[in-house]
Structure 1
């Protein structure tokens, strides 16, 4: 058994710890945020953490009504003065597996070293204790049980995504999301046991191209799914909004393509038509939804329903399992070690 597979399988145990930890920090988190005159939220990350930052910024805008953006750590590090005006009265939230990614730590150091500007409050979210990122922060959240020891992130991704979503829910007083998260986590291991073999079977062919489709808060997570497919299975993988795939990328979809799509709501005629057209091009389509009724028979090679209605952002937790398992299946089929992808390190040190 690979370490990557073990960490995928253990992610719901870690998620329960993260859920309990975040609930315990709720009061202190809100106190920290309300202490500062915050007019916006800025998420900073690199790679997987940047993808998660995109989803988190969307959640904050949608749920709290507060302006929120995501910045790539390397971009901010190279251009700290260019973005200074965007950081006025903002709260920086920096999700990171290691808390040591060079671009993020250095970007924070640079923007805080400008003595002509007021210090910017920073909330660090990492999966290790006492990291350099934590030392730069005014408030630090640490999830060591979610740390992935394999190079590619799986368990870490779902835990950082959940922590970010809970932050948005706390700020928006959205207790429905909190309830849905707990139900999803409690049913997570049963869901994995139910769908793993069928996902592996659907992905067990010589595909060389992968496309991940999702909308709203799941789009950043879809981009992370594409990164996992690229890193672990060493294939070309891209993420798009659901219907945007028609605007050019459809030409890349064919018999060598595996498509993973998140279908929201009850499934509309436009979603069904898209699934039909993808299938007609010879691609293999794995479609996820919270309820089976969203994916009628015959529209996908494999339908993966969670089994109950969920807030769309919460659907991201079972959804991300699909590209993770597909990537692992692809690596195993090619004889690639998923724990040590060629040319990658667990985190970048410049």
Structure 2
């Protein structure tokens, strides 16, 4: 059994701890944000963390009505002056596995050296260099992945950011829904593992991951994970955007993973897309999961 597989299977046990921890920190988080009184939220991360930042910023806009965006840590470090106007009055949110990623720590130091930017850091290592730079530091050491490729860590950092959005938006339904999803998590993994193993056994040499909304950033992380773990070329796109150019590379030997979300009004478009992908020879993989309204 590989370390990456073990860490993936342990993600819901870690999520239970993260959920309880974040609920315990809710008052402190809300008080910090109220004191900072930001006009915007800027999420920064590198690689997997940047992908989850994209989803976290989207969730903050959608769930809490906040002015939020994501910037790659390396971009911020190299081109910080270009973002000066956009960073005026912002609160910096920095999720990181190690809390010691060079681009993030140096970018935070550069920004704080020029002007005071409040920083909320979330890492999986207590007392990290990033935590030392932060005004509010949260630590999820039980979610730390020792594997090179992050799995459990990404899920837990995203859940923490989603809970922050729910706290700031007063979305109690989302908080309850996340708790329910976590409680059902291990049973869900048991239900879908056989299907995932079948998909892994198909004769494919490239993959496409499709998702919309909050899931798009996480789809990008899925593409990174497939590239890094399986050593196959993988790209991610919005669901229907795959029609606009990328469809030409879908064919025999392509695994298509689609998070087919949305309401009934768009159901026919989704069905038509999946049909057309199949006609091009792509192997599709969809995981069905019922969640409560608000998730």
Range into which the TM-score falls when normalised by the shorter chain: over 0.9
Q: Using a 3 Å threshold, how does the CA distance of structure 1 residues 308 and 68 change in structure 2: closer, same or farther?
A: closer
Are 2:177 and 2:291, in contact at CA under 8 Å, matched by a contact in 1?
Answer: no
Tell me the number of residue pairs that the alignment of Structure 1 and Structure 2 aligns: 293
Instruction: Decide which of 117, 124, 127 is 1:120's aligned counterpart.
Output: 117
Alpha-carbon displacement from aligned partner over 1:132-154 (angstroms, at most 9, x marks no partner): 00000000010000000010000
* Aligned twin of 2:45: 45
Shift of 1:206: 2.6
Give the whole-Å Cα distance in 2 for the aligned partners of 1:60 and 1:308.
20
1:306 to 285, 289, 295: 289
Q: Measure the CA separation in 2 of the matches of 1:105 and 1:308.
A: 37
Unaligned runs of 5+ in 2: none
Q: Higher helix share goes to which structure?
A: 2
- Residue aligning to 2:280: 281
Q: What is the Cα-based RMSD across aligned positions, in Å?
A: 1.0
Greater than 4 Å deviation, 4+ residue runs: none
Q: How far off is 1:72 after superposition? A: 0.5
The runs of 5 or more residues in structure 1 that have no matched partner are 288-303, 315-350
Verify: 1:205 aligned to 2:202, yes or no: yes
1:172 aligns to 2:155 (yes or no):
no
* Structure 2 residue matching 1:41: 3-state secondary structure: strand
Aligned counterparts of 2:25 and 2:73: Cα–Cα separation in 1? 26
Once the two structures are TM-superposed, the CA of residue 105 in structure 1 deviates from its matched residue by 0.2
| Cα deviation digits, residues 61-118 of structure 1 (max 9, x gap) | 112222111011001111122211111111000000000000000001111111xx3x
Q: Is the 2:181–2:291 Cα contact (8 Å) retained in structure 1?
A: no
- Alignment match of 1:151 (pick from 134, 144, 148): 148
Normalising to structure 1: TM-score of the pair? 0.82
**1:15 is aligned to 2:15:** yes
SS, match of residue 80 in structure 2: coil
Relative to 1, partners in 2 of residues 1:308 and 1:181: Cα closer, same or farther, differing over 3 Å? closer
State the alpha-carbon separation in 2 of the partners of residues 80 and 201 from structure 1: 46
Cα deviation for residue 169 of structure 1 reads: 0.4
Alignment of 1:1-350 (within 5 A): 1-114=1-114, 117=115, 119-267=116-264, 268-287=267-286, 304-311=287-294, 314=295
Instruction: Identify if the C-alpha distance between structure 1 residues 266 and 64 changes in structure 2 by more than 3 Å, giving closer, same or farther.
Output: closer
Give the alignment's TM-score, normalised by structure 2. Answer: 0.97
Moved more, 74-83 or 22-31: 74-83
Confirm or deny: 8 A CA contact 2:73 2:104 kept in the other structure: yes
